[in-house]
Amino acid sequence: MNSFKQTYSTLIKQQAKQLGFDYCGISKAVFLEEEAPRLEKWLRENKHGNMQYMENYFDKRLDPRLLVEGAKSVVSLLLNYYPEKKQNPKAPKISKYAYGIDYHFIIKDKCKTLLSALQEKIGEINGRCFVDSAPVMDKAWAKKSGLGWIGKNNNLITKNNGSFFFIAELIIDLELEYDTAIKDYCGSCTRCIDACPTQAIAAPYLVDGSKCISYFTIELKENIPTEYKNTFNDWVFGCDICQDVCPWNRFSKPHSEPLFNDAHDMLSWDAAQWQEITQDVFNKVFKQSALKRTGYKGIKRNLDFLSEKL
């Protein structure tokens, strides 16, 4: 039986690599005992702001066996999105993960292809792919799978390539050989905490989502509180500050996924082009982009918030 576990685990990692995933780790599908009290406290203290969906499916967030019947293993997958091209320094800033086509589509397709390949080579496997679209604690599973550690900014950090990675999971009813977590290499560093202009990193390893620039520019549907005027450092969609200052990201290398590249030359736009953007241009340029989550009205609200000085 153990030889089968090892063989299947090796096969899964080989197939993941062939599909372009940078890292693949496997952990046993169990209840996340360590994360349960932390999540409960975080929600109780309203650190999720208006993201009411975070309160839903509490039990399912902590136990993958409630998401996939007979689940035995969680396969964690990382895909690099660090770009080669930089944005025009005079433009409002867009988070690096949103430069190309919405990652949900790209990674979901790769994940489904991986599951189909395993079913073809191993036999009948029941499983589901997850890419930010269901109550799965992706960073916790990636950590358990030995792919990295969760840093003080609450991002998963890999020792070899930093933290600019998308995380996906394949939860399956197949028993496998499991990887083990690695140690935390943040040490005494507090650069991410010191650099956050809205003090969203309330303490090491504790992010107050309701104060994060990404929350204000993407998740919040109402007006941005005026108390945060002049603190956004020109971020109009998302924020990469806590990752940009992380010493481990000096090891980041450009991704090799063409669909993550800027297809409409958006990175060259200056501030005036952003301010003058129309609904039609937005719809055309960001038709398959993550920016659709905020929408045209949301982007205009964010641009206005940046341009109105106190």
**Per-residue pLDDT tens over the stretch 152-164:** 999 999 999 999 9
pLDDT tens, N- to C-terminus, the chain (310 residues): 577 899 999 999 999 999 999 999 999 999 888 887 777 776 677 766 666 556 555 677 788 998 899 999 999 999 999 999 999 999 999 999 999 999 999 999 999 999 999 999 999 999 999 998 667 889 999 999 999 999 999 999 999 999 999 999 999 999 999 999 999 999 999 999 999 999 999 999 999 999 999 999 999 999 999 999 999 999 999 999 999 999 999 999 999 999 999 988 999 999 999 999 999 999 999 999 999 999 999 999 999 999 875 4
Residue type, 11: L
State the Cα torsion 285-286-287-291 to the nearest 10°: -170
- The closest alpha carbon to 195, from 238, 225, 153, 154, belongs to 153
Question: The pTM is what?
Answer: 0.93
> What pLDDT, on a 0 to 100 scale, did the predictor assign at position 43?
67
| 67-100 residues labelled b (16+ CB within 10 A) or e (exposed) | bbeebbbbbbbbbbbbbeeebeeebbbbbbbbbb
- Residue 292 tokens read as 């659709």
**Domain range holding 11?**
1-310
Output the pLDDT for position 51.
Answer: 62
Give the pLDDT score at 271.
Answer: 95
Domain count across the chain: 1
Predicted confidence at residue 188, as pLDDT, reads 98
**Where in the sequence numbering do the catalytic residues fall?**
132
In DSSP terms, 203 is beta-bridged to 206
Q: For residue 52, give the nearest of 128, 135, 166 by alpha carbon.
A: 135
Return the pLDDT at 289.
94
The answer to whether the CB of 24 falls within 8 A of the CB of 119 is no
